[in-house]
Structure 1
Amino acid sequence: MDASGIERVPEGPVRRMLTAANRHDLEGMMSEFAEDYRNTTPVHPARSFTGSAQVRKNWTALFAGLPDLTLTVHDAATGPDGKLWMEWSNRGTRPDGSVQCAAGVAIFTLRNERIAAAQFYLEPVDHDSGDVNQAVSEAVQGAVGGDRP
């Protein structure tokens, strides 16, 4: 198993997209997305979008701003509905030398051998946000500036 873990992902468009991403091959990545691709970001609804043009814009910025960006797949499974669930992370160095790391899950919907949609749960890794007791306390009591339904 190589360090990227991409072989955990079944053969198909998601695996090809990840392989292209680790090569920083934007055109290779884009060939795996449906033109009407829909990205839903439930934790940050305003970040949801439709269309592969936004995928291109996002990855162009990521490759430019994080020139050593790498993606790692930690686990993957195909659900009974054919959706591909993937736990993954990424890491890259910004021009100022600081490191950006994110981790989470993406749930992909495939259509006609293309990535048609994703439920996207990728968040920056935060090593300084407190322990589990603090997190539960903030969930119950609310954090300063926290969201209210």
Structure 2
Amino acid sequence: MTDSQALTKLAEAINSHDAESIAACFSVDYVSENPHHPSRNFVGRATVLRNWMAMLTRFPNLTARVLRCATKGDEVWSEWEMVGTLADGTSVTIAGPVIWCTDTQGLVSWARFYLEPVSDEPIRPS
């Protein structure tokens, strides 16, 4: 499986709203890094499953799309946009880049997430 096929498979799994299908895109020993929120770093497919079960409960109509991607060596750089609605009707957009690698089976084995909620708050000068 090529990196672009793995990327497509992951986006399709997210849009299927099936946490098991999403988790199946990741290796058992997957490493997740979140440089802006280091306490969110973790290892393992089981945590991917737990996290996506929670995400899909919070955003039952979540849709994901890849806006851009580029591959260099064994790394895939991708820009994601995810849109969903909370139970109170609030629409939420999460966007940003994800850098990741796949293993020899085409499963995501490592990723660095820079996804953040999109805010329309103006920047206030200091």
Question: TM-score scaled to structure 1, two decimals?
Answer: 0.77
**Which residue among 76, 85, 105 is the counterpart of 2:77?**
85
Q: 1:110 aligns with which of 102, 106, 111?
A: 102
SS of 1:55's partner is: helix
Distance in 2 (CA, whole Å) between partners of 1:129 and 1:66 is 26
In structure 1, the residue matched to 2:62 is 69
State the structure with bigger RCO (CA 8 A, min sep 6), 1 or 2: 2
Aligned partners of 2:119, 2:48: CA distance in 1, in Å? 25
Segments of structure 2 that go 5 or more residues without pairing to the other structure are none
Contact 2:101 2:108 in 1 (8 A): yes
Larger strand proportion of the pair:
2
Are the equivalent residues in 1 in contact too, given 2:23–2:46 (CA < 8 A)?
no
Q: In structure 2, what is the equivalent of residue 25 of structure 1?
A: 18
3, 10, 25: which one aligns with 2:4 = 10
**Deviation, structure 1 residue 85:** 0.6
The runs of 4+ residues in structure 1 deviating greater than 2 Å are none
8 Å contact 2:82–2:95 — kept in the other structure? yes
1:36-70 deviation per Cα after TM superposition (whole angstroms, max 9, x unaligned):
10001111111111111111111101111111100
- The amino acid across from 1:109 in the alignment is C
TM-score in terms of structure 2 length: 0.90
Give, as a single letter, the amino acid of the residue that structure 2 aligns with 1:107.
I
Q: Identity over the aligned pairs, expressed in percent?
A: 35
Using the alignment, how far apart are the partners of 1:118 and 1:129 within structure 2?
30
Give how far 1:125 is off: 0.5
The aligned counterpart of 2:119 is: 126
Q: Structure 1's 38 and 129: CA in aligned 2 closer, same or farther, altered over 3 A? A: farther
Q: Distance in 2 between matches of 1:44 and 1:73?
A: 22
Amino acid at match of 2:22: M
Q: Paired residues, what number?
A: 123
Structure index of larger Rg: 1
What's the counterpart of residue 53 of structure 1? Answer: 46
Aligned residues of 1:69 and 1:92 also touching (Cα < 8 A): yes
CA distance in structure 1 between the partners assigned to 2:63 and 2:55 by the alignment: 11
Cα deviations by residue, 1:86-121 (Å, 9 ceiling, x for unpaired): 011111000011111111000011112110010110
